Structure 1
């Protein structure tokens, strides 16, 4: 993709227009209070600057809270407080079920950040209580090599050591004790996590032993700390990742990237993620190509508008001749992206404006496949009601009902069957929805499938692992009575 260069200083033009947007988003990602009166003010600012301006829905803000708290989970209950204010103020609104479920379970998740039997250690690190921390390390059976994991950490796929947790929470005293008394080494994760806590003593020590990498820049962007971003750019020649700017709602960093690179096309592609129509209009005024593709995955601006559920921006783009069925590198259309995020407004808008409801991605996945895969119940209902092929198959013969069964999603399975899904459909491994349900051990779903005609006697023991054979034998015996 060729770059479009301009002599105009974009930052000076755009930043004053979007200052309140940036300040409000910053207040979410840089949350440092648990005082009720301050949290009420933050919520009111969000309501006034982001929601009442129609840039974000209440669900959108809840999604932002969920992203932000992973990089700042010391204040997870403060994020919960803002969430609860949203829920209380919108009693008649239906919210995203998965997000509501996450927040409803958040207290127990936070309590388990560190195992219950290590509660003292957790309190010591969170409060940087060095005396309490030392007393714990002197206990019989203390394991310096223990790793900790939790879905509220920046990367739920990673586990962290004690010294890494000290870097994340900014526990300077505990960090220094681990270094001086227990000779703990500084890992790359230590430096990366120090960009989230922002404690100079920890960061400076880590910089003696580790060199900043792209994850450091990602965390600097996620922390909404422009000083850290500038430091990494100027001292270590690390570039701002424009995709991370969108992922973490960092418009300030995005505008710095634009100002430094003049890469109008790439910035235009990601501009819909910020949900500001006038920002997209700014790029259109610079004569960008409406269907220009991104460097990484060939996504277009319309893909990102669908991903972020922005019908107003989609309307703007289509008015400028964006192609409604344009495909990304993996051959996904904007409708695929809208479906996988359960973005009902975008799904309906795109179909109303010519999106092909059964358009096939790289492996012949339709939007219905993605909706079933991602447990998007409402989108499944809408796609079916608008005529989606309920028995469409991927190149591996996978249907939506198989994906729903793999996810133990009885509601989606029921809707699919009610609307004519073939219950005995087999994928390339010869597996049916019933077999996938059996692998998951979901008794309710198994009972439901069998009660709706799934053939539980057709699976020969010579075809399956012994565990599956025993299971089907159990089903066979049970349903002969």
Structure 2
């Protein structure tokens, strides 16, 4: 496209978006911290940006908050603008709750406060009493345009100007500091980007014309539409401008560029306009691009396809729009199940959309079924949705635990019956032969045990150690309630940090025994019971080596104590030896639980 044609488009767009450009520039170049000075600017924001449809009121508040974080010298004015928007548009977030509103408390009487006020005398006092990084201080002076403090550090402390100082000076927009920095350092694309952030067009043109800085389309996080149009005018690169145009959240800008000869599938570093439209959360632009034939499954290096950008940002409407227009729901690059994003955000609508378009609720990641992740996050309603949409209820983890055991572990009473009604096996055994009823006995949860028994749980099922559920219930009572709780709390710390867990449901030691006996439960394991081997499922990969070590110490302690006492008493009877061994066994078992477990 010829230069005069590019300039023609530049003039048309500058005129078309004059209100947008001038108002946004005024926001970024606000130079008074007086609260009463914002009335006129607020009216421009209201008329030219919010009511014109370029920004929602909440998005404008977020933008002002972000700008104010960088331009702390004027943070009172930015807070006042946010308050005006909040009061008129009734936004969700009260500015009084934002960090920006409370900066006075945190920075008063600090060296940063001295720099923001450009008070070189106060800064000099801080330098006398505090050990501060002078190079960082100079960069901070450049960033905030603190002329007096800058000169103090340069003249009295001879601090050298770094490239970071040069870039920061263009953000601070103090011409004296900029010129001093340009004497020492050469500008580059980072400097150009800093000039874009300052919204000082003269500095942008200065870098282009006087320093031959390569034109850079820049960071669109700064809403500098004027610099964008300068790039368009100087480079004639309509295709690249089209790719970046969604960042400005102006649907008509994208449409204008597209209708003036741009290839809708243009790319910049493998990004298309659709990637950036999704990232900008611009549903209307996404819709326009799809309707005009943009390729929906193009993949970019960092984020994959547009759908997976939308999933990662939890953008329900855009997810639905993309999927309904044929977007591939499989991640061909990172191999992450699309449903995992819905689980992460507990977004049932996204999950429902994906499953309705072919996502597999039984897909695994790292050997785990998705329902395991759901249970680990305590998402009961999400679990119910997955089950109702076809998730297999008899899937097991690598330890053979089925989903009923997960519901026991997490305390989801209503889900147990749902699982059973969908065909979950109440008598399924894990790799150690434990059924859900064994686990309920281990947890001493009579309520869950009753549910299992009422649905056909085998009352006398044996695990691989020959233990019935009643054996386990008796063992749990015999080892001492508090010792057991101490051990079990250690286990839970591995399973569910900071979550509500099944320890809260434990009842007294006799109720479970009584329940099991009432339903015909029998004792099968006559030797000393060993609690460490009845629950070897998902905790094994964390605790098994430690518990095995405890078992070895226990056995050694029993043997040594038995030998010493028998030798001292000179007892030869094997019957007395066995009796003593059992007594010492109980003692050492309690001793191990109460004291050695604390080591772990």
Which TM-score band (shorter chain)?
Answer: 0.7 to 0.9
Shift in Å, 1:224: 0.8
2:335 to 364, 367, 372: 364
Name the Cα RMSD after superposition: 4.1
TM-score (norm 2): 0.61
Shift in Å, 1:145: 2.3
Q: 1:236 to 1:442 in 2, by over 3 A?
A: farther
Matched, 1:459 2:541: yes
Kindly indicate whether the alpha-carbon contact (under 8 Å) linking 1:309 and 1:345 is maintained by their aligned counterparts in 2: no
1:193 to 168, 177, 180: 168
Match of 1:104 in 2: 98
2:299 to 306, 318, 327: 327
Structure 2: tracts of 5 or more residues without a match: 399-405, 411-489, 506-534, 547-592
Matched, 1:161 2:161: no
Kindly indicate whether the alpha-carbon contact (under 8 Å) linking 2:165 and 2:181 is maintained by their aligned counterparts in 1: yes
Kindly indicate whether the alpha-carbon contact (under 8 Å) linking 1:265 and 1:292 is maintained by their aligned counterparts in 2: yes
Structure 1: tracts of 5 or more residues without a match: 147-159, 427-431, 465-472
Q: Which of 1 and 2 has greater Rg?
A: 2
**Structure 2 CA distance, aligned partners of 1:366 and 1:5?**
47
Match of 1:271 in 2: 245
2:280 to 308, 311, 331: 308
Shift in Å, 1:258: 0.5
Kindly indicate whether the alpha-carbon contact (under 8 Å) linking 2:374 and 2:382 is maintained by their aligned counterparts in 1: no
TM-score (norm 1): 0.74
SS of 1:138's equivalent in the other structure is helix
Shift in Å, 1:89: 2.6
Kindly indicate whether the alpha-carbon contact (under 8 Å) linking 1:27 and 1:42 is maintained by their aligned counterparts in 2: yes
Deviations 1:239-282 (A, max 9, x none): 332241x2211110000000111111111111111122221122
Matched, 1:222 2:197: yes
SS of 2:184's equivalent in the other structure is coil
Q: 1:201 to 1:450 in 2, by over 3 A?
A: farther
Larger RCO, structures 1/2 (Cα 8 Å, 6+ apart): 1
**Structure 1 CA distance, aligned partners of 2:323 and 2:53?**
22
- Matches for 1:403-442 after TM superposition, within 5 Å: 416-417=382-383, 419-420=385-386
Paired positions, count: 420
**Structure 1 CA distance, aligned partners of 2:305 and 2:132?**
49
Q: 1:462 to 1:262 in 2, by over 3 A?
A: farther
- Matches for 1:48-197 after TM superposition, within 5 Å: 48-91=47-90, 94=92, 104-108=98-102, 111-112=105-106, 119-139=109-129, 142-145=130-133, 161-197=136-172
**Structure 2 CA distance, aligned partners of 1:61 and 1:227?**
26
2:234 to 257, 260, 280: 260
Residues 388-397 or 119-128, more deviating: 388-397
**Structure 2 CA distance, aligned partners of 1:341 and 1:364?**
18
Kindly indicate whether the alpha-carbon contact (under 8 Å) linking 1:258 and 1:264 is maintained by their aligned counterparts in 2: yes
Deviations 1:406-445 (A, max 9, x none): xxxx68x56654544999979xxxxx9x99x979x98433
Kindly indicate whether the alpha-carbon contact (under 8 Å) linking 1:188 and 1:210 is maintained by their aligned counterparts in 2: yes
Kindly indicate whether the alpha-carbon contact (under 8 Å) linking 2:170 and 2:178 is maintained by their aligned counterparts in 1: yes
Higher helix share: 2
